[in-house]
Amino acid sequence: MDGQCLHGLVRGAPHLCPMPPACGLETQPPSSIFEMVVTLACFGVANMESLARSQLLPSNTEVELPILVLPHVVLFPGENLPLRVWELHHVRLLLLLAFSQRRGQPAYLGILNARRRSLMEDAVVGCTCEMFEVESDWDGSSPLTAKAKGRQRFRVLDAARGGNMEMRQGIPHVRVLILSDECVSAYPRLPQWQRSKLHQCTYWPTTIMGLLSPACLLGKVKQILHSIESWQGVRCATGFELCRIAGFSSDCLDGEERGREGADEEEGAPVEMRDAVSLSFRLAASLPLDDITRQRLLAMDSVVYRLQNIILLLKNTAESKLCCAHCEVALVGKGALFSVPGAEGTVGAYSNPAGVVHQMLTVREVLDEEENVALEGPIETEGSWFEGYAWTIAYCRRCSLHLGWLFTCCEVNREESTNLPRFWGIRRQALVDELQCNAQRVPDSRQDGARPQIDDGEGIVAEEEEMLIRMVE
């Protein structure tokens, strides 16, 4: 699918970055692409699709990574990233990564977001990714296709000086620090008769203490996702539809929330969510957020702080609409978000034949479709990201911004099909939250003692919780 003929869509292939000794390329690489393919065939890679998974890089260590700069793409650990590359130096890099993985050596690529296609202009925190699948019968007549998955966060060292970037064979290499994402162990859960005595020994109420517990914060997220109908799609996509949070105590909730969570515990759901770090990344990746907010969540070193901010986002943006990023007309309600069967979630990355990666939201419907959205071009099935669906390019009718695509079920027996008749795929960078639009229109929103819900696009902060978050910092 190629939406680059659209107004406002800038064509350009993503920039890739260098491959260091830390990534496993310690041996002399083959001198040509042909020799590379022959060498890979000798190791069996040319005839197989899956690649072995490497060990994680040690935390808090400095390594040199090749960096792929993707405009408007913020990758979280655990997210999938499809790649299609045309340029020979990019193809050579991916083949070298596959070559190293096949030999059991760590082979990582760094992903950075840059809205203006500058390596160090926007983001200094990125995510390493590792290929888990590569095209097995690539012959050089088409782009090389691979699939990668985010693994670990990293921070660019000396970003103000360009990260000590060094170009090697057309690909930049940057010195980075691998960040730690270890979660502190939760305090042990005490019997009920001991909890009441313990609470008498501290000035702070239980709800305040719960703000420091990842398990309690995950329980709060679960309660919000179940109680607010507009987050149903996110709840299903993130695995919170039916789960029990290990180590969670309902004491950190109040009133009705505690009663509901207690009922859930009595039902005994079969799934236990233990990894607070990976869940926080999964939640952040599934929410319809702008680049700045996603980058801010990615850069947070504390899982507690990340979950606190996710809770505020879930509370304060549940009823707001997603608007066109250019003309600010309301387009999507949060309740329309859903996960297409077989897709990664409500927000996913997709690569078109030109190699451009789009992070896209899947929604059931668009508000005032006839007035707000214009369709252009024929219905195409070739290159569709979703099997059984044809795509059509969608613009904003008011400002001609490329919004995304309309996917229509093209199965013959449509009435008997279990697929949706149609749904929309909206590019994440084409949308902005309604609260951000209001904050930009009324810069002096602090008058009359009122506190704005948006803080310069950096994230949503409620007054009653800001004091508690400041205690944690």
DSSP 322: E
CATH superfamily entry for domain 324-434: Peptide methionine sulfoxide reductase. (2.170.150.20)
How far apart CA 20 and CA 299 sit, in angstroms, is: 23
Which backbone phi and psi does 404 adopt, to 5 degrees?
Answer: 160, -130
| pTM value > 0.85 | no
pLDDT band, very low/low/confident/very high, at 188 (cuts 50, 70, 90) = low
pLDDT band, very low/low/confident/very high, at 102 (cuts 50, 70, 90) = confident
How far apart CA 59 and CA 56 sit, in angstroms, is: 8
| Run of H or E residues at 378 | strand 373-380
Per-domain residue ranges of the chain:
21-178, 195-316+457-472, 324-434
Q: Is the pLDDT of residue 350 over 50?
A: yes
Q: What is the pLDDT of residue 385?
A: 92
Q: What is the pLDDT of residue 48?
A: 40
Angle, alpha carbons 127-132-133 (nearest 5°):
130
Least confident of 114-123, 250-259, 422-431: 250-259
Say what percent of the chain tops pLDDT 90.
Answer: 35
Walk across the sheet containing 431-433 and list its strands: 330-333, 321-324, 431-433
Say which residue, 108 or 460, is predicted with more confidence.
Answer: 108
Least confident of 27-41, 138-152, 345-359, 412-426: 27-41
Q: What is the pLDDT of residue 363?
A: 95
Beta bridge partners of 394: 375, 404
Q: Is the pLDDT of residue 129 over 90?
A: yes
How far apart CA 263 and CA 250 sit, in angstroms, is: 10
Q: What is the pLDDT of residue 155?
A: 94
| Side-chain-side CA neighbours of residue 70 (13 Å) | 30
Specify whether the CB–CB gap between 462 and 319 falls below 8 A.
no
Integer-rounded Cα Rg, in Å, for the chain is 24
Domains 21-178 and 324-434 share a fold: no
Query: Which residues, other chains included, contact 247 with Cβ-Cβ below 8 Å and sequence gap of 6+?
Result: 186, 189, 213, 215, 274
CATH code at 21-178: 2.30.130.40
Q: Is the pLDDT of residue 460 over 50?
A: no
Q: 383 — alpha (psi -120 to 50), left (phi > 0) or beta?
A: left
Angle, alpha carbons 440-441-442 (nearest 5°):
95
pLDDT tens figures, 269-321: 333 445 788 889 999 999 999 998 999 999 999 898 999 999 999 999 999 99
